[in-house]
A and B are shown apart, each in its own frame.
Chain A
Amino acid sequence: MAKTYIARSGRLAARKLGEEMLVMSGLGSTLFTLNPTATILWQAADGATPLEEIVEQRICPQFEVSAGEALRDAETLARDLAQHGILLVSHEPFAQTSSSALEPATV
């Protein structure tokens, strides 16, 4: 099964406030608050670490949930965040670009 990689969109403004992450899309001025789980995903979304590894290392230790269930939930959440332009999702690792935005390495 292909691995999933997630990266933060470079056009966003973001800051952690307490346990939640504030994220604003630069052009649309749409403000989102990410819950603690989504915040973990956002913070770990370096474009290089597979989602499965993020779930195992960052989510499972904090929540009483099986790895399989956590991965399914994380994939759903990542797709939701991608629909809002908050995360980029790919089956290839992302390459860091000069403008801090991340693009898939194969593009």
Chain B
Amino acid sequence: MSLLLELDARAQRLGVPLSAHVDLTYRCNEQCIHCYLDHEDHGEMTTVEIKRLLDEMARAGVFILTFSGGEIFLRKDLFEILEYARSLTFCIKLKTNAVLIREAQAARLREIGVESVQISIYSHRPEVHDEITKIPGSLRRSIAAIRFLKQQGLKVVMANVLMTKNMQDYNGVRALAEELGARYTLDPTIAPMMDGDRATVALNAGGAALHQLFRDESYIGDPEEFCAPPAEVSEDSLNAVPCSAGHTACYISPYGEFYPCVQFPLSCGNVRQQPFLEIWRNSAQLKEVRSIRLRDLTGCSQCVHGASCSRCPGMAFLEGNMRGPSTADCEKSFARTGIPSVNLLAKKTNPSSARLVQIQLVPAIAGTRLAGLPASA
């Protein structure tokens, strides 16, 4: 077991939120076609509110703190927040498109001591990347920023989200990462919007592309091993926690909403109204999330992929049932092994079962959206 996994297991036993993801804003200077956020500002937390939250999170034991958005560099108080967070000895990770990072910002990040900067890069080809971000010149600026950050000796991770438009470019992006001295991560899943709108899901690359990706030795290593049929589901697996969301990890929106994870918009409280630790310890929603084991999952508990599936509980929630399957992950398991999941087989038998409805509104987002936009939006 790696040290991080060991620490995560210990944090779970102690009930400590080892990591937290805080979105400082949903505003953005790019307009990515697959983005799951509403970019209007509906009343972001102030600098004072964020500092108070950071105090509370440090006291609760949060160690790894990810700041993301939206685009975090649109916040004029970003460096003040980062400096304050470092004074509380958080391990800080940033997620950004880096368009606004020049030499001075890179030097400041180094001085503050952030652990890493993750930058979204969709393609090594400007015409593809810029078509996805809808900002001409955005790839050029992001690459320039990576160079500035690397010159400062900072760890840079290039995050390559794959969809129909850029599915063939991941090797190009990986080569670019190597050239720039950056690490590379790949994510072939496009999430629904946080308000439940599933329009973005149509951008997912699809089964054939995943099949091809999962047989690319340069990406997955040995295809025979990677694509092997799943091992039998053990008793231990049935009792395992599905993922760290709500167990040792959590998410805070720019409006103070507390979710188990950025991809799991189940409102558990609001840090503007309740202390962070009170929500973490007492939220009925978090307790429910923590009670779920693989054996409780509809379909998944009987599925051959049960123990090896990358099932995301947030994606399942957005699909309509946090105790149900995440179809995107069923499709990945199928593309990998050629063996359909229980959920995919059920959908084949009864196609209407695929049309689930959102079971719970997200108050902050749904509420403000209704107030801020015309009824047709």
Interface residues of A (CB under 8 A from B): 10-18, 22, 24, 26-27, 29, 31, 33, 99-100
Most buried by B among A12, A15, A31: A15
Residues in B neighbouring A15, C-beta threshold 8 A: 58, 61-63, 89-91
In contact, B16 and A17 (Cβ under 8 angstroms): yes
Q: Check B115 against A29 for contact (C-beta < 8 Å).
A: yes
Chain B 296-334 near chain A by CB (<8 Å), digits 1 or 0: 000000000000000000000000000000000000000
8 Å CB contacts to A: which residues of B174-198? none
Q: Are B90 and A13 in contact (CB under 8 A)?
A: yes
B155 at interface, CB cutoff 8 A: yes
User: How far is A16 from B63 in the complex, measured between Cα atoms in Å?
Assistant: 9
Could you say which of A16, A27, A99, A100 contacts B154, with CB atoms under 8 Å apart?
Answer: A27
B89/A13 in contact, CB under 8 A:
yes
Q: Which 5 A-B pairs have the closest CB atoms?
A: A13-B91, A26-B113, A15-B63, A14-B89, A24-B91
5 contacts between A and B (CB under 8 A): A13-B113, A17-B10, A24-B91, A29-B155, A99-B111
How extensive is the interface on chain B, given as a class? 20 to 34
Q: Is the CB of B63 within 8 A of A22?
A: yes
In contact, B114 and A26 (Cβ under 8 angstroms) = yes
Known: A17-B7, A18-B14, A33-B7. A100 touches B115 (CB 8 A): no
Identify which of A12, A16, A18, A26 gathers the most chain B CB atoms within 10 Å of its CB: A26
B155 cross-chain contacts in A, Cβ below 8 A: 27, 29
Q: Which of B7, B89, B154 counts the most chain A CB atoms within 10 A?
A: B89
Chain A residue at minimal CB-CB distance from B89: A14
A102 to chain B: closest CB distance in Å?
Answer: 13
Q: A33 to B111: give the CA distance in the assembly, Å.
A: 24
**With A27-B153, A31-B3, A100-B86 as given contacts, are A13 and B11 in contact (CB-CB < 8 Å)?**
no
Q: Is the CB of A17 within 8 A of B14?
A: yes
Of residues 4 through 24 on chain B, the ones whose CB sits less than 8 Å from some CB of chain A are 4, 7, 10-11, 14, 16, 18
Does B116 sit within 8 A of A, measured CB to CB?
Answer: yes
Residue of B nearest to A22 (CB): B63
Shortest B343–chain A CB gap in Å is 37
Residues of A within 8 A of B18 (CB): 17
CB of B92 within 8 Å of the partner chain = yes
Q: Are B61 and A16 in contact (CB under 8 A)?
A: yes
A24 B7 Cβ-Cβ under 8 A: no
CA distance A17 to B90 in the complex (A): 13
Contact A24 B62, beta carbon cutoff 8 Å: no
B7 & A13 in contact (Cβ 8 Å cutoff) = no
- Distance in angstroms between the alpha carbons of A21 and B111 in the assembled complex: 24
